[in-house]
Amino acid sequence: MKPSPLPTWLIRLTIFSVLLRLGLGLFWQYALPTWGYGGNSEVAGYIMADAYERDTAAWELAQSDEALGDAFSERYDAVDQYGGLLFLSAGIYRYFGGNIHRPLMVVALTALVSSLSLIFVWAFARRLWDECVAKWAAWMLAFYPEAMLLGSSQMREAFNITLAAAALYGLVLLRQENDWRSSGWVIGALLLSIPLSPAFTMLLTLSLLLIAAALWRGQWLRNWRLWAAVGGLLILGFAGLWFFGARLADGSFENPLTFMQYWIERTSLWQKIASTQVSGWMTKLFENVPYELYTWVILVYGVVQPFLPAALIAGSNPLWRAIAIWRALGWTLLLPLLIFAPLRALRRPRRWVILAMSLATWMVILSASFRSGGDQWDNPRYRVAFAGMQIIVAAWLLVEQRQRPGPWFRRVLIGAAVVIAWFLPWYLRRYTPIEWAVIDVFKTLGLGIASAILYWIWDWARLHRSVVP
């Protein structure tokens, strides 16, 4: 496929995306001090406490006589575990910031870089499918709430979104053009991601390997270049572990093997996580759950965060409630598409790529949930780094359904809506004087699943009866 010039609509959408994210950053800076809860980060105009601490440290480092490389020292571990974004932010403030701390300078950069992901996502989807899927993916990513939120704040995920999309584009370019110079996109994205987040680099490497296996299906054994590329990706991943493993493993890193052992042993900490990080009703829930199921309960709880019924009903001030609903609505609309896409792909030709992308997507989602449990902020931002891949899968499904309609797409969406609806009275009972007979969360979930199955049976019978002569 010959390189195609960027369409006018994509250029305009990218520019609008930059302005939209920058505008949101400006809005946070002026709205949070007035309408927030009064925390230090809110008073300073930061929507995320991590961004406030890191950006403040970056400004102090920029104004000091210290070398910028000190951003990677252990002294700054508390504000930036890896040091990459701290180094970049401090460099911006030192060489372009003057004597006044202007946090919007970093927001402008995150808005620009995160919006460039639209171009890479469009190019990737267009090469693998067609203009229709590419256009859907670009538009969906531009307005995906979690991507907009990270792109309007001083967070590393704004950069990771684009790095992941660029690596995907480089991979498909390498497959179609058979020009190994295209691997520069992949290698460059991985190298740049290491100082930002080695954990992200590992997940991106594994995702690229899965997708590459689908792109080069059946050609692995007889192509030494592919084996060399796989070896190079693994070397990059292990290099990131070697240099940053101690920070990932809380100082207990000796080598990549001990690092893997460390992460496996983290499964024994789920009971502590349940009692210290999740909400009170989850802690109460565990009183009736066997210890062996703790991990699975928190894993599922993390997957659905931010949960729309909780966002709609839980008490909060108007600004934060609006933000919670906005974020939860975006994930609630995307999650059923990610669940159904691999099922739809099983029945389609050329299914291997979308199946590999779905597998990589769910590896990321479950890894994020495993890493942060039910946290409503860390969990979504870990997985949003791969928003481009998730959005492409969803866009493929929407176009596939539009071109070849099928009843199960509607059934899955309505079934998911029914399950969610059953949790509305459950949350109303928690936060309002309204009484509700079903107080057990598992019974509530069971009612939702049973209602969804009954709807599926009714809809199947209705359609079957309509075609019987």
Q: What is the pLDDT of residues 114-148, one digit of tens each?
A: 999 999 999 999 999 999 999 999 999 999 999 99
Residue 244 and residue 353 in one domain: yes
Domain of 455?
Answer: 409-467
User: 3-class SS at 380?
Assistant: helix
Q: pTM score, two decimals?
A: 0.89
* Residue 77 placed within a domain: no
- C-beta separation of 448 from 418 below 8 A: yes
* Total residue length of the chain: 469
- Which tokens sit at 240? 């990131």
* Residue 88 placed within a domain: no
Residue 124 and residue 242 in one domain: yes
* Residue 400 placed within a domain: yes
- Which tokens sit at 210? 């899965």
Instruction: Indicate the helix (H) or strand (E) that contains 120.
Output: helix 117-128
Residue 205 and residue 245 in one domain: yes
Q: What DSSP assignment string belongs to 328-351?
A: HHHHHHHHHHHHHHHHHHTTSSS-
CA-nearest of 194, 113, 208, 147 to 380 is: 147
Residue 437 and residue 328 in one domain: no
Cα separation, 308 vs 433, whole angstroms: 20
pLDDT at residue number 370:
81
Domain count, the chain: 2
CA-nearest of 47, 46, 69, 65 to 56 is: 46
Residue 323 and residue 384 in one domain: yes
Cα separation, 242 vs 259, whole angstroms: 9
Domain boundary among 405, 437, 457: 405
CA-nearest of 430, 465, 296, 313 to 370 is: 296
Residue 39 and residue 166 in one domain: yes
CA distances from 163 to 177, 298, 330 (A): 21, 29, 22
Residue 350 and residue 429 in one domain: no
Neighbours of 179 (CB within 10 A): 9
Residue 280 and residue 366 in one domain: yes
Cα separation, 205 vs 199, whole angstroms: 10
* Residue 89 placed within a domain: no
User: 3-class SS at 180?
Assistant: helix
Task: Give the alpha-carbon dihedral of 107, 109, 111, 115, to 10 degrees.
Answer: -170
* Residue 378 placed within a domain: yes
Angle (CA) 25 29 34, round 5°: 140
Cα separation, 383 vs 145, whole angstroms: 13
Residue 437 and residue 372 in one domain: no
Neighbours of 26 (CB within 10 A): 15
* Residue 210 placed within a domain: yes
pLDDT at residue number 117:
97
CA-nearest of 341, 351, 345, 306 to 324 is: 306
Domain boundary among 405, 433, 453: 405
* Residue 433 placed within a domain: yes
Residue 5 DSSP code: P
Residue 419 and residue 272 in one domain: no
pLDDT at residue number 268:
45
CA-nearest of 86, 99, 82, 80 to 58 is: 86
Which residues of the chain fall below pLDDT 70? 1-4, 218-288, 291-292, 349, 466-469
Residue 303 and residue 420 in one domain: no
Domain boundary among 405, 424, 453: 405
Cα separation, 358 vs 345, whole angstroms: 9
* Residue 58 placed within a domain: no
- Which tokens sit at 191? 């190298």
Cα separation, 399 vs 134, whole angstroms: 10
Residue 400 and residue 413 in one domain: no
Cα separation, 156 vs 196, whole angstroms: 6
Cα separation, 389 vs 358, whole angstroms: 9
pLDDT at residue number 358:
96
